[in-house]
Structure 1
Amino acid sequence: MSDDRPGILDGAVHPAEQTRFFGHAAAEQFLARSYRSGKGHHAILIEGPEGIGKATLAFRFANHVLHHPEPAEAPETMADPSPGSAITRQLVAGASHNLLHLTRPVDEKTGKVKSAITVDEVRKAGKFLAQTSGTGNWRIVIIDPADDLNRNAANAILKILEEPPKRSLFLVLTHAPGKLLPTIRSRCLPLALSPLSETDLAAALDSLGAAPSGPRAADVLSAAHGSVSEALKLVNYGGFDIVEAFRTIVDAVAEPPRRDVHKLADVLSAKDSDTVFSFFCQHVTDFVTDSARNAALSGNIARADRLAHLSSQLGERITVAQAYNLDRKQTIISVLDDIRASL
């Protein structure tokens, strides 16, 4: 089953709809016991790579808290959300008066998801928290992910975290905690999640009806590095073909045919190609970073320094290209040329 809401990958469902959870039993138990103790932190920073279950854990915990608003009466373990529960149905529909899912909004003009969480979105959180719950229940804000907060939005969130209202809970998700404001990190209790094992990844994909099959099944589980979203991109978005085309271009001994470069750039810059473009950007950044690390380990310091500098440049260039909607095809071509020149 797939979810057609913006930002949800083909083959995936919204985290609030997930009734099963894989690979993070210890983190789940920690949250349940911490809440029951009545001494739980008002802000939890759930850290880990993209696609490993951070948002699913956040919604499961929110579901648990809203079902058991008095900590001392809550069980020490979280049950799977019941689709028949009124609270679960409200969370799935995005209609809960007690939970706000703060994420990148959809641009009303283009119908596409914006590139950042803006301060206007954070203001909604302020209004949400200022309201009085008719049930006396908790007010929960899931920031998904905090990496997408622009500077003004991050500062606005910080002010709320500094003086949180009573019976409020913040579940702050991050793929890269080092990029967050140190002051935001310092006001949250960190909870780090690891990538899924191949066994748990296979089970998670199977629960979505997206278990890989055929000769590439093992390759999917290996190449996804414990991420459900990476696996779905590899299977449903032509990720393997993109990776192979990229490696053919950068590994070419002679200058690669420009038609191959333009063919890949055309695929990645086509209409509605946001997902594959993002996949490509992440892959090439990881490739350059890994190449720099390998060069350093082999003692080739000059090459390592050159590639490390390029890795930083690529991150900035891609961020600028996305923020200002620059020509994607030209961005991709220049990225490929720079990588080849630095190898």
Structure 2
Amino acid sequence: MSTEDIPEPDRVEGAPHPRRTAALFGQPAAEEAFLTARDAGRLHHAWLIAGPRGVGKATLAWRIARNLLAGAGGPLDMAPDQPVFRRCAALSEPRLFLLRRAWDAKAARLRQIIDVEETRRLKTFLQLSSADGGWRAVIVDAAEEMNTSAANALLKVLEEPPERTAFLLVCHAPARLLPTIRSRCRELRCGPLDAASLAAALDAAGLQTDDATALAELSGGSAGEAMRLAAHGGQPAYEELLALLATLPRLDRPRMIALADSCAGRDAAERYDMMMRLVPLALSRFARAGALGALPVEAARGEGDLIRRLSPGPGPARAWAEAVQRLGERMARARSVNLDPGQVMLDTFLDIETTAQRLASAA
């Protein structure tokens, strides 16, 4: 396999890598917090850039890194034709180190963790001084993917950080980090994107959407997830799923079988994966709306009426929440033992039907 064919663990399929992304959308507070510290001369050596997946954390890390390496001051915007931008995009910038999951050539797949061997490479990088005496940058993406040995090795570096070296830890799940690492970082919090910011991010990535509001709802404000949904027909698939659920408490059999069959077969892996995400999402939206007593913004036409009928209060909300947990565990087991996708989806739909019929009989 050539270098160009090796997948990158820190890149969303169908989207440009964050190191090649110039603009950041929807995170003005996080960016302003960094700029305020930098301009006041209080630039911390380690920054924990935390938040949900796909909301721009890595893009912010690369923007900060390029700004420091260029010694530019001012805003974090940089034209892609600038030398520092080009070197970072090509991973040829000698003052930058990217710590991420490595490619296992023997197993022909990405490693599941960032191991201590990668952090040893970081130590070698840090032993070299910057040629011009300027800043160096280390990006860790994603920080929670470090195993214990790698995390402890990074902790030792953070305890005695080299001068003029910024550590930028991109993290989706800060609770999984060592508390001692978290305590040595200043946090920049990135939140979900609103519909306008999401549409702008998709447009910048070369993707168009007819309904950014619905896509923002389905993706939870994650541009990364929105790109996956847009690339694999997520919105039409969700509408198809809701059309089936609208026949509850007894599902329409031909429609149920057709939807399950569409997830089976060698060429249906992406469809199956999409449905495995959309089913828990739909039920979670039922549960949340019933618990809060407020309907969400519709992610598909007719969703509000369906939620109002199937989850009118706390009792049904609890039942749907339990179904989300139960089906999530079942789906995880199905993936681990490679069960037939069509049968997995049939079993899932029948479980949902059982829940709906139990709620209908108790009403």
Deviation at 1:58, TM superposition (A): 0.6
Deviation at 1:244, TM superposition (A): 4.2
Once residues 18 and 225 of structure 1 are traced to their aligned partners in structure 2, the CA distance between those partners, rounded to angstroms, is: 21
* Residue number in structure 1 paired with 2:249: 253
Once residues 26 and 117 of structure 1 are traced to their aligned partners in structure 2, the CA distance between those partners, rounded to angstroms, is: 30
Gaps of 5+ in 1: 69-73
* Contact 1:245–1:264 under 8 Å retained in 2: no
TM-score, normalised with respect to structure 2:
0.73
- Work out the number of aligned pairs and report it: 328
Once residues 117 and 138 of structure 2 are traced to their aligned partners in structure 1, the CA distance between those partners, rounded to angstroms, is: 15
Q: Which segment drifts farther, 6-15 or 289-298?
A: 289-298
Alignment of 1:26-105 (within 5 A): 26-68=29-71, 75-78=73-76, 80-105=77-102
Partner letter of residue 250 of structure 2?
A
* Contact 2:331–2:344 under 8 Å retained in 1: no
* Residue number in structure 2 paired with 1:12: 15
Query: Does residue 226 of structure 1 match 2:221?
Result: yes
Alignment of 1:324-343 (within 5 A): 326-327=337-338, 329=340, 333=345
* Contact 1:45–1:172 under 8 Å retained in 2: yes
Query: Does residue 201 of structure 1 match 2:212?
Result: no
Q: Which one of the candidate residues 19, 22, 26 is aligned to 2:25? A: 22
Partner letter of residue 234 of structure 1?
L
Deviation at 1:210, TM superposition (A): 1.4
SS state at 1:266 partner? coil
Give CA deviations for 1:205-235 in whole Å, capped at 9, x if unaligned.
222221224xx56533543343222222222
In structure 2, the CA distance between the partners of 1:112 and 1:291, relative to structure 1 (3 Å rule), is farther
Once residues 48 and 337 of structure 2 are traced to their aligned partners in structure 1, the CA distance between those partners, rounded to angstroms, is: 33
Query: Does residue 237 of structure 1 match 2:232?
Result: yes
* Residue number in structure 1 paired with 2:264: 266
* Contact 1:33–1:76 under 8 Å retained in 2: no
Give CA deviations for 1:239-261 in whole Å, capped at 9, x if unaligned.
22443455466664336567446
* Contact 2:68–2:136 under 8 Å retained in 1: no
* Residue number in structure 1 paired with 2:299: none
* Residue number in structure 1 paired with 2:182: 185
Deviation at 1:81, TM superposition (A): 1.9
* Contact 1:140–1:170 under 8 Å retained in 2: yes
Once residues 332 and 159 of structure 1 are traced to their aligned partners in structure 2, the CA distance between those partners, rounded to angstroms, is: 46
In structure 2, the CA distance between the partners of 1:16 and 1:135, relative to structure 1 (3 Å rule), is same
SS state at 1:46 partner? strand
Query: Does residue 122 of structure 1 match 2:97?
Result: no
Once residues 348 and 174 of structure 2 are traced to their aligned partners in structure 1, the CA distance between those partners, rounded to angstroms, is: 26
In structure 2, the CA distance between the partners of 1:286 and 1:105, relative to structure 1 (3 Å rule), is farther
Once residues 159 and 264 of structure 1 are traced to their aligned partners in structure 2, the CA distance between those partners, rounded to angstroms, is: 51
Once residues 17 and 193 of structure 2 are traced to their aligned partners in structure 1, the CA distance between those partners, rounded to angstroms, is: 19
Give CA deviations for 1:268-294 in whole Å, capped at 9, x if unaligned.
x85874xx6665555445445444444
Q: Which segment drifts farther, 111-120 or 81-90?
A: 111-120
What is the alpha-carbon root mean square deviation over aligned residues? 3.7
Once residues 148 and 318 of structure 1 are traced to their aligned partners in structure 2, the CA distance between those partners, rounded to angstroms, is: 23
Deviation at 1:43, TM superposition (A): 1.4
Partner letter of residue 50 of structure 2?
E
In structure 2, the CA distance between the partners of 1:30 and 1:314, relative to structure 1 (3 Å rule), is same
Give CA deviations for 1:123-176 in whole Å, capped at 9, x if unaligned.
322332233333333332212222333444334433333332322221111223
Deviation at 1:67, TM superposition (A): 0.5
In structure 2, the CA distance between the partners of 1:301 and 1:226, relative to structure 1 (3 Å rule), is closer
* Residue number in structure 1 paired with 2:140: 143
In structure 2, the CA distance between the partners of 1:296 and 1:196, relative to structure 1 (3 Å rule), is closer
In structure 2, the CA distance between the partners of 1:180 and 1:29, relative to structure 1 (3 Å rule), is same
In structure 2, the CA distance between the partners of 1:277 and 1:37, relative to structure 1 (3 Å rule), is farther
In structure 2, the CA distance between the partners of 1:135 and 1:203, relative to structure 1 (3 Å rule), is same
Partner letter of residue 184 of structure 2?
R
Considering only CA atoms, is the larger Rg found in Structure 1 or Structure 2?
2
In structure 2, the CA distance between the partners of 1:77 and 1:47, relative to structure 1 (3 Å rule), is same
* Contact 2:198–2:212 under 8 Å retained in 1: no
Deviation at 1:320, TM superposition (A): 7.6
Q: Which one of the candidate residues 137, 157, 162 is aligned to 2:159? A: 162
Q: Which segment drifts farther, 164-173 or 312-321?
A: 312-321
In structure 2, the CA distance between the partners of 1:321 and 1:117, relative to structure 1 (3 Å rule), is farther
Once residues 186 and 173 of structure 1 are traced to their aligned partners in structure 2, the CA distance between those partners, rounded to angstroms, is: 15
Partner letter of residue 57 of structure 2?
K
